Structure 1
Amino acid sequence: MNDTHHPKTLIHRKARPIVQASLADTRVVLIAGPRQAGKTTLARQFASAERPYITLDDPGALNAAKSDPVGFIRGLKRAIIDEVQRAPELILAIKESVDRDDAPGRFLLTGSANLATVPAIADSLAGRMAVIPLLPFAQSEIRSTPGRLLDRLFTGEEPSIDEDAVFGDDLLETVVRGGYPEVLRRATPARRIAWLEDYVALILDRDVRDIANVDQLDRLPRLLDVLAEHAGQLVNHSSFGAALGLSSVTAQKYVSILERLFLVRTLVPWSSNRLTRLIKTPKLHFLDSGLLATLREDEVDALRDNKTRFGPLLESFVISELMKLASWSERRLSFSHYRTKDQNEVDVVIEDRRGRIVGIEVKASATVKPEDFRGLRQLQEAVGDRFMRGLVLHDHDRVTPFSAKLQAAPLSVLWTM
């Protein structure tokens, strides 16, 4: 197994060939993801004399971009512009520039806020920009494994595992560590926690100001703590707001800001005309399980004997890993969750453009029972032939079949396949 604690060499990012291909045929390419996920390291691999690197974290560059965006862009034939969300004024200037000169690969941008969710920006660069997500390291990147699980499931393959299955204490440590590059460089839990606490403070103090006007900025750290305790649960903005003296509308706005900053992710409910008793509420997850563990003050020793507490961490870890796998898949995949009013559920429903479905249920225990497949069986009945595979991922080292398309599988399949 590769050393996951101290990556000393440059870890190959699976997004790199996608960036390279996009620069060859698209005018503007945006690498979007949280701060410290590796966007700058990846973008700088494409820097050259003809494509200079500019960061808007530099006060001089930021001031120039904000005060004269047209002049700032006018002198650039090609460029890498890092942290472009700090000067959204540049977007219109970039649009005008690439409309005059439509050569591919003109601008490689990075953004630590999801600019694609801002209508003015999305509309300005529609048809001109490719957006490539980059989250913290996936386990398949850390371990140099294929990372093709979703593609293989959608082609009808059954899950398989090799001798490098990760389970028990190794799985606990993997989940609690998460995927931020700087965290993986730190040898002790105390050093990792210190970095993550500083990281959150920086984002909530500075990056929020770049993308939104927030009246009660001091409430955001407390809101993030409240959300951490509700990870893996249905979104309830009234409850979130009540804990902090905020209205439901304000809480919803603040959660949306945290989502745009790639700290949290809400999964929409899956819907079907064939089923009438479905819950229609989104579900809340964090995009890095290490960050979530820090916010919840969850450590490996305490979690070893408390699988109930470990469950939400593990579920967010799986969601994040699946989204990373989807980000470099050639398939266009959508994510949702399935829950009925009878409390039957599937943690993740993954659907391709043809409406074919893979269902994933996550269990923190080593033992899987037939009733753990109840939600997956309901989903299979609802979609019929469109159902490709249903997996219960759990803390184990081998695959156990429960029917032709339903298996219990080790969590390691997220990176071994």
Structure 2
Amino acid sequence: MDYIKRDLENKILSLSREYSCLLITGPRQVGKTTILKRIMGNDRVYVTLDDMEERRLAKNDPALFLQMHALPIMIDEVQYAPELFSYIKIAVDNGAPPGAFWLTGSQAFNLMHLAQESLAGRTAILHLPSLSQHEIHGRGECTPFTLELDSIKARNSTNEPTDMNGIYERIFNGSMPGLVSGKYTDRDVFYSSYLQTYIERDVSEQVALIDKLLFRDFVRSAASRVGQMLNVHNIAQDVGVSDDTARRWLQVLEKSDIIFYLRPYSNNLLKRMVKTAKLYFFDTGLVAYLTRYSSPEILASGAINGAILENYVISEIQKTYHNNARECLMWYYRDKESNEIDLIMESDGMLHPIEIKRSVNPGYELSGTFKVLDKASLTRGNGAILCMRPELSAIDSENYIVPIWMI
């Protein structure tokens, strides 16, 4: 089993020279512990709060816990002892050196709330996603995906080309390090165990007396709707729970980084907009498993082939920003006249419209919808169609045709 170098490594090391505390969040089993152990050196103490004795001490006597362990320290699964945060704040305020505390946790929302309450301005918060296609198949430096022509062209030398079959194989295999690295070889057993562990540990802590089999069916129902506008009532009906229960369970999935949403873009100049978010999963392999597709070939011709491709593209773009410790404002557009844009990236006061298609030769007329953004309060910038074209091309000087393997 080989270690897969993570694009976030250099950013972690550079921020450790500036901040006394680093908090690394992300979904379960995406490699948070592995990356930090790989780069932490021999002088750092490692403590995991999966150890019940360490957890008991950290919760009941956080001051003694920190006295017992020398700095610098890495505390794994810190969400199990939120009592530590106030005492870490005291240590930082008393002059703890840069890089003194490395913290990891898999409940991003809760951890960020705790950090912002207790460690605001004192900690660097980074999000580690599952493996990106650049980390798995690429080389060289990862840069955020933008629609600047020189930036796109530079991706020729850092990303590995592939065709439609290759893209769907990447989608089907997913991006979990345990599978990609070869540590685990039975994909179905891995995802089944992943779900069981997630429900037993994370979900059961957030929802008392939950019906675990019913919740598993709920996750499967949500997975069948990736890339669609969220309809809570339909998901609730699928599994026989109330709409309020479905909303609470969706919040649990979002808080633990199983799902994320794309919100609709709107402003005062764009009228008659829909206001419903679209639903996506952080890992397309999990979606393929939950929706019972048995091979990349069947998935590529299945009912969700377009939706899961859209999910893959949006999550891969997000990863290029997370792996550079940057945020990207992303939206979609749909109005009541059926005008639709799959993705809008907002940066530097400009809106960049993107269509996502599984075609090798998408119709150039697809970029015509981009003009609806001319009425927006922000300037419309370069647009693109992301598709299965093997090489970079262009519709005109402002709209490009970009292969999905270039993300």
TM score, norm. by length of structure 2: 0.90
Given the alignment of the two structures, is residue 114 of structure 1 paired with residue 103 of structure 2, yes or no? no
Shift in Å at residue 322 of structure 1?
Answer: 0.7
Give the secondary structure class of the aligned counterpart of 1:275. coil
Kindly provide the CA deviation profile for residues 113-165 of structure 1, in whole angstroms up to 9, marking residues without a partner as x.
Answer: 11467634422121111111111111111123346564553577555775952
Contact 1:51 1:78 in 2 (8 A): yes
Shift of 1:283: 0.8
| Aligned amino acid, residue 128 of structure 2 | L
1:258 aligns with 2:253: yes
Q: What amino acid maps onto 1:71 in structure 2? A: L
Asked if 1 retains the 8 angstrom alpha-carbon contact of 2:8 and 2:324, the reply is no
Amino acid of the residue matched to residue 167 of structure 1? D
1:262-341 alignment to 2 at 5 Å?
Answer: 262-298=257-293, 299-306=295-302, 308-329=303-324, 332-341=327-336
Deviates more, 1:319-328 or 1:74-83: 74-83
Aligned to 2:192: 197
Contact 1:154 1:358 in 2 (8 A): no
Question: For the structure 1 residues 185 and 27, does the alpha-carbon distance in structure 2 shift closer, same or farther, using more than 3 Å as the test?
Answer: closer
- Give deviations 1:289-324, integer Å, cap 9, x for gaps: 111111111232313433x42112111111111111
CA RMSD, 1 decimal: 2.5
Does the Cα contact within 8 Å between 1:153 and 1:159 map onto a contact in 2? no
* Letter matched to residue 77 of structure 2: E
Tell me what 1:377 maps to. 371
**Residues in 2 aligned to 1:38 and 1:187: alpha-carbon distance in whole angstroms:** 12
- Mark the CA change 1:176 to 1:366 in structure 2 (over 3 Å): closer, same or farther: same
Please state how far the C-alpha of 1:358 moved relative to its aligned partner. 2.5
Q: For 1:174 and 1:78, locate their aligned partners in 2 and report how far apart those are by CA, in whole Å.
A: 38
Question: Which TM-score applies when normalising by structure 1?
Answer: 0.88
Q: Which residue of 2 aligns with 1:40?
A: 33
Q: Measure how far apart 1:110 and its partner are.
A: 0.8
Q: Which amino acid aligns with 2:25?
A: A
Gaps of 5+ in 2: none
Deviation at 1:230, TM superposition (A): 0.9
1:223-234 to 2 correspondences below 5 Å: 223-234=218-229
Structure 1 Cα separation of the partners of residues 107 and 404 of structure 2: 30
| Cα shift at 1:224 | 0.5
| Cα distance in 2 for residues equivalent to 1:181 and 1:171 | 18
Question: Which residue is 1:178 aligned to?
Answer: 174
Check 1:103–1:187 CA distance in 2 against 1; reply closer, same or farther (3 A cut). closer
Q: 8 Å contact 2:351–2:381 — kept in the other structure?
A: yes
Shift in alpha-carbon separation, 1:183–1:49, aligned structure 2, 3 A: closer
What is the CA-CA distance between 1:223 and the residue it aligns to?
1.3
Identity within the alignment, %: 29
CA–CA distance in structure 2, aligned partners of residues 357 and 292 of structure 1:
30
Rounded to whole Å, the distance in 2 between the matches of 1:31 and 1:346 is 33
Tell me the residue number matched to 2:20: 27
- The more displaced of 232-241 and 150-159 is 150-159
1:80–1:217 CA distance, 2 compared to 1 (3 A): farther
Q: Does 1:13 align with 2:3?
A: no
Q: Whole-Å Cα distance in 2 between the matches of residues 347 and 197 of structure 1?
A: 31
In the alignment, what sits opposite 1:166? 162
- 1:13–1:141 CA contact under 8 A, matched in 2: yes
Q: Deviations over 1:187-227 (max 9, x none)?
A: 99x811221111111111112234x2344242321111110
d(CA) in 2 for partners of 1:345, 1:148: 30
Within-5 A mapping of 1:344-355: 344-352=339-347, 354-355=348-349
- Amino acid corresponding to residue 314 of structure 2 in structure 1: I
Give the one of 91, 104, 113 matched to 2:98. 104
What are the Cα deviations for residues 68-105 of structure 1, in whole angstroms up to 9, with x where unaligned?
22321233432101111122222223223322334321
Say which SS state the counterpart of residue 202 (structure 2) adopts.
helix
Does residue 216 (structure 1) correspond to residue 207 (structure 2)? The answer is no
CA shift for structure 1 position 62: 2.0
